[in-house]
Structure 1
Amino acid sequence: NTIAGGFSRGSESSSARKRYVRRAISEIYLVRQPQSLTVPDLAFTAKDGLEVAPHDDDPLVIQVQILNCDVKRVLIDSGSSTDIMYWEAFKAMQLAEEQLQPYAGTLVGFSGEQVDVMGYASLLTTFREGNNAKTIKVRYLVVKTPFTSYNIIIG
């Protein structure tokens, strides 16, 4: 069952409803489009490729800085839909569990298993160093798993 009819913006006359619709339509055309989000550039120099024999299937593993901690073994995974920080890395940075914000969802792993998310933390993350450094806020889902090769996966 539905309720239809009633007052249209405080008036029941036909002319008032038409006036309201015309004003609403004209305001739609005045709304500005939101600016597109800018994604920071990620670039590599020749120095980054020294002593590297690239292959098509090589994983991209980098080092980042979070809260003045150098975090190694950070996997860049373009197939991942989220940014993940493993519990051991979270503890190694001496972050308190109270700093986690609640997260109600679960993640599905590579083999279909569900991984419980302990929460999320928004942390300033610095990529690169020196003049080429870029610091952005990254929202990491923190998960606890028995074994992992990486500290963070950035999707």
Structure 2
Amino acid sequence: MNDRHEQWQAAERLALTLIEGGLQRMSARTLAVFLFTDQESVTAGEIADRLEASAGSVSGAIKSLLTVGLIERLPAPGSRREHYRLRDDAWATLFTSQNTVIQAMLQAAAAGIAATETGDPAHQRLTQMRAFYAFLLGELPALLNRWHQQNT
């Protein structure tokens, strides 16, 4: 077995782990390609070939990964195809983009609190939910700042 074959097996295992963690199957497999490629950038066609997947499913996965900030488009002078790569600061970017999820959770908790009575157990659970997400949102900037200081 060659090293490249072992790397792609590891990529598929990583994709399975990401799927178990809640990522869509094709997004997980596409992210694994970005993590394990030895190329500076890849095209959607190259990903589709590597994964033996349809262009449409790869296109959806790329859009998803672009939306959360894990990958970025690169200029490719002379090429008619879009080129993509994993962002240098992908993981911090992903975590930062999750602030929109935290904001949505805060809003949902607030709406639930407004719709319940003070002594209601649901009201208490929703109040705790709102307090947790407010705490988390307040801690994220300092956490990301420490991460950047440690990794620069």
More helix by share: 2
TM over 0.5: no
The higher relative CO (CA closer than 8 Å, separation ≥ 6) is in 1
User: TM-score, normalising length from structure 1?
Assistant: 0.24
Larger-Rg structure: 1
More strand by share: 1
User: TM-score, normalising length from structure 2?
Assistant: 0.25
